[in-house]
Amino acid sequence: MKQSPINLLQKLIKIDSQNPPGNERKIIYFIRNYLKSLGIASKIYEFKKDRLNLVCKLTSKNPKKKILFTPHVDTVPANGKWHVPPLSAKIYKGRMYGRGATDCKINVAAALYLIKKLKEEKTTLKNIDLVFAFTGDEETGSHNGIIPLVKHLKGADYAIVLDADEFDIVVAQKGLLHLRVELTGREAHGAYPERGINAVEKGVFILNEILKRKFPFATHTLLKKPTLNIGRFVGGDKVNIVAGYAFFDIDIRYLPKMKEKEIIKNIEKIIKKQKIKYKIKILAHQSPLEIDKNIPVIKILRSVLKKNNIEGKIAPSFGATVITFLKDIGIESFAFGFGSKGNAHAKNESVKIANLDKGIKVLEEYVRGLDEYFRNR
């Protein structure tokens, strides 16, 4: 298939895979057909209508280890006013513009072009099998993506999540805890508020104290401090009715050594002071993680980057990547990628085109380095 990496990235950006609403069918079929043209079989996993994921494998002669590379194919919506149409993949001054350019289609393009190079150069790896998982639904929690897909990825020894910027190597990640606190008061006429229990009013007091409270934590060299964001506050029916019900959603990003049960317990203590019926629901949870930066697969990557005059900074992720779901099934994982900092989810999202060629070269050298390292192990 005569197609340059730039042309491939343009084609990927032009395919609408915004999530929400969420539909990966077109982009996954494009990837399947691309691989088919190279003579590579793949398998599609559909966990909900139009929510697709694809897995393919390159097997070796004498496999000693299985290495997984996984980027996601969905993007956030292209909201707001853009200088260029968000699915145009326009090139200007060394950058390509479009929704998903940085997050995460440059990584998809690099992985696909690596497969193409290995196939066309008739490279048969001797000691490592490569598995590529192109996943959906990453932008809204991975419930139709890598979470159900992981059971089909068991057996991988290491995973490289291709979802990072500027060749950073992500080895630490905050825990994610999304909570919904529901408050049930008692309705009354607005002229007689003393006859009711105002759930909105109680919620304001509770949130005010939560925001003031300093949760105990041990400092971390990469992850700095925990954070808390109030994302929603909903309650009441009418201005002249004492609100009988309210809820608020909070997003807590916490550090290793902190325990989610302790965080919830501290929040409960604050709520109980207001003497109102309540319920706490866990909407989402991912544990914090730390990866040893001296494991062989990271050391080899750093040596490849150094050889190519690329810094390859050891970095944290303040957001939540899918590393957690892979670690949870025993696959040693870290994140790495070629996006451009400050562009993920932004208006006029773009990526440095130079990162694409450099990324493909690094990936190819990295795979060969891993194959050689595991020769006698």
Q: What is the pLDDT of residues 25-72, one digit of tens each?
A: 999 999 999 999 999 999 999 999 999 999 999 999 899 999 999 999
Confirm if 183 and 247 have CB atoms less than 8 A apart: yes
pLDDT digit string, tens, across residues 202-251 = 999 999 999 998 888 888 889 989 999 999 999 999 999 999 999 999 99
Strands (DSSP E) along the chain, which ranges?
42-48, 51-58, 65-70, 91-92, 95-97, 128-134, 158-162, 169-173, 175-184, 227-235, 245-254, 277-286, 289-290, 314-317, 332-336, 350-352
* Domain range 175-286, CATH architecture: 2-Layer Sandwich (3.30)
pLDDT at 2 over 70: no
Residue 21: count other Cβ atoms within 10 Å of its Cβ: 9
Reference 163, options 333, 356, 321; nearest CA is: 321
**CB contact at 8 A, 71 and 58:** no
- Copy the structure tokens of residue 256: 């290793």
Each residue of 274-316: pLDDT tens digit?
Answer: 999 999 999 988 899 999 999 999 999 999 999 999 999 999 9
Q: Which pLDDT value is given to residue 320? A: 80
CB burial of residue 42 (10 Å; 0-12, 13-18, 19+)? middle
Per the CB < 8 A criterion, the answer to whether 346 and 100 are in contact is no
SS3 assignment, position 317: strand
* CATH of region 5-172+289-376: 3.40.630.10
Closest to 286 measured CA to CA, from 314, 318, 315: 318
Q: Which amino acid is at 176?
A: L
Question: Is the confidence at residue 11, as pLDDT, over 80?
Answer: yes
**Side-chain half-sphere CA neighbours of 174 within 13 A:** 24
Handedness of CA 56, 61, 63, 69 (dihedral sign): negative
What is the predicted pLDDT for the residue at 3? 75
C-alpha distances in angstroms, 88 versus 9, 14, 81, 98, 163?
A: 11, 6, 14, 6, 22
Instruction: Please give the single-letter amino acid code of residue 49.
Output: K
The pLDDT value recorded for residue 318 is 83
Among 61, 58, 50, CA closest to 119: 58
Query: Residue range 139-150: average pLDDT?
Result: 95
- Percent of the chain at pLDDT > 70 equals 99
Average pLDDT in the 139-147 region?
94
DSSP three-state, residue 49: coil
Q: Where in the chain is the domain with CATH 3.30.70.360?
A: 175-286
Q: What are phi and psi of 154, to 5 degrees?
A: -60, 145
Report the C-alpha gap between 145 and 72 in whole angstroms. Answer: 9
Interval 69-118: pLDDT, tens: 999 999 999 998 999 999 999 999 999 999 999 999 999 999 999 999 99
Residue 157 burial (CB < 10 Å; 0-12/13-18/19+)?
middle
Residue 3 CA to residue 205 CA, distance in Å, equals 60
| Spatial CB neighbours of 255, under 8 Å, sequence gap ≥ 6 | 174, 175, 217, 218, 220, 223, 225, 226, 288
- What is the C-alpha separation between 173 and 345, in angstroms, rounded? 19
| Parts of the chain belonging to CATH 3.40.630.10 | 5-172+289-376
Nearest to 365 by CA among 280, 317, 321, 300: 300
Tell me how crowded residue 95 is: count the other CB atoms within 10 A of its CB.
19
Mean pLDDT of the chain: 95
Can you give the pLDDT at residue 123?
82
